[in-house]
Amino acid sequence: MNVKSAVLGGGLTGITLARLLHERGDDVTVLERDETIGGLCRSRAEAGFTFDIGGSHIIFSRDTEVLSFMLSVLGRNADRRKRNTKILYKERYVKYPFENGLYQLPDEDRFFCINEFVKNLIAVEKGEVPPPANFAEWITYTFGRGIAGCYMVPYNEKIWNYPADRMSHHWVEGRIPRPPVEDIIRSAIGIETEGYVHQAVFSYPVTGGIEALVRAIAEPVLPTVRTGFRVASVREENGGFAASDGIKTVHADRLISTIPLQNLLPCLLDVPADVQAACDALRYNSLCSVFIGLSGEVPDISWLYVPDKETGLFNRISFPSNYSTEVAPPGHSSILAEITYNDGDAVSEMTDADIIEHTIGSLVAAGIIPSRDNVVYTGIARQKFAYVVYDTDYLQNIEIVREFCRERGIDLVGRFARFEYLNMDGCIRSAIDFVRANG
């Protein structure tokens, strides 16, 4: 088989690339190792419930072009919801982001957060605080010791499963905005303020879960997608590439990889030791998603952040039945709990049954599930590659791997191919930009 462009990976990025290249008249094929497309954006439908297996996904973006693209392909299969996001803090539902919900904290915690924010602000303006050298220092530099210690550091260390003082801070500017001092003071005395206003309203597919978005994008190019094609080798051939699963071979003028670098490099010949070492050193988290179907209702919350380790292993709880009335049977609701982990840690050694039992017990104890008797369905899914972790050696290591791929003529697009923490809109943007520059 001969094509102009071969795309490795049929997740959101790969499918978007295929569609955009196809619309430009490119002869393209997508090689996906699984039997279904979607990657982290796949969904599972069982017993009348629909859950997103790669954790809770919603459709929003500051990028108006990308947002318009997502909503246009979904058409009528999209519903809008107002965001109602909380943080579970000392048995209280605190408004998210944390700095906008200070008035809901216990008195001493509220004083600690506002006092440290002001003291730190003055010290920074006087030049008494050195520039941050890592993520933990950036959090304190930006928010002060109070907000940092009460919420930001505990939550980030829980989700990243890695010490904040060993993470780089180069990625947070723009992703975690610096709050205006006026908003901090308003929040502390109980005047309503809003953060992350671009998320104030979000959309979600009425039916099909988030996978419906990938399916809608894929519709014009489904005949070009080859599922069950596990690429085992990629070699340069006559100015192009040959990608093989050991049985069949696809010949392409151009190779675009959207798969994890850790899966790409073993397919290539003669990878230098320093490049392999740099790839091996890139850190990432795996994700365990726990699905719970309930009789009755759940709190009127979109999703809930859980920084406290004692509350449970999960860092975020979402309520998919609040996104769409069609993802749970009538009279029922749903909860999705997300737990990050790494090979060799305690979570990785737990059985699926133990993780489900822990999650249900923790949610009952926290009052989120009224009783175990309400639970009518459980499920679980694990994703090896879920989050990119920016450790302090990241920039050096990723440049070594990218330069090697550039020299081999292999294009890298998307979350785990570029090895960047891209949300769905960022993945689509990366595909749009690539096609405009190279289509």
Domain ranges of the chain: 2-38+209-280+393-438, 97-193
| pLDDT reported for residue 179 | 76
Report d(CA 403, CA 420) in Å as an integer: 15
Measure Cα distances from 52 to 55, 281, 360, 368 in Å.
6, 29, 18, 20
Other C-beta atoms lying within 10 Å of the C-beta of residue 145: 17
138: Cβ–Cβ under 8 A, 6 or more apart, which residues?
132, 169, 172
Q: What angle do CA 330, 331, 337 make, to 5 degrees?
A: 95
Confidence tier at 194 by pLDDT (50, 70, 90): low
Structure tokens at 263: 């899966």
Residue 215 has phi, psi (to 5 degrees) of -60, -40
pLDDT of 113 higher than 80: yes
Confidence tier at 24 by pLDDT (50, 70, 90): very high
Other C-beta atoms lying within 10 Å of the C-beta of residue 71: 15
98 backbone φψ class: left, alpha, beta (φ>0; ψ -120 to 50)? alpha
* Lowest mean pLDDT across 56-70, 98-112, 181-195, 392-406: 181-195
Amino acid at 90: K
pLDDT (mean) for 238-245: 95
CATH code given to domain 2-38+209-280+393-438: 3.50.50.60
List the one residue out of 7, 18, 180, 205 whose CA is nearest residue 100. Answer: 180
List the one residue out of 226, 372, 382, 350 whose CA is nearest residue 292. Answer: 372
pLDDT of 195 higher than 60: no
List the one residue out of 77, 33, 46 whose CA is nearest residue 59. Answer: 77
| pLDDT reported for residue 224 | 96
Average pLDDT, the chain: 95
| pLDDT reported for residue 174 | 65
Report d(CA 86, CA 77) in Å as an integer: 27
pLDDT of 394 higher than 90: yes
| pLDDT reported for residue 188 | 84
387: Cβ–Cβ under 8 A, 6 or more apart, which residues?
159, 160, 284, 285, 287, 340, 421
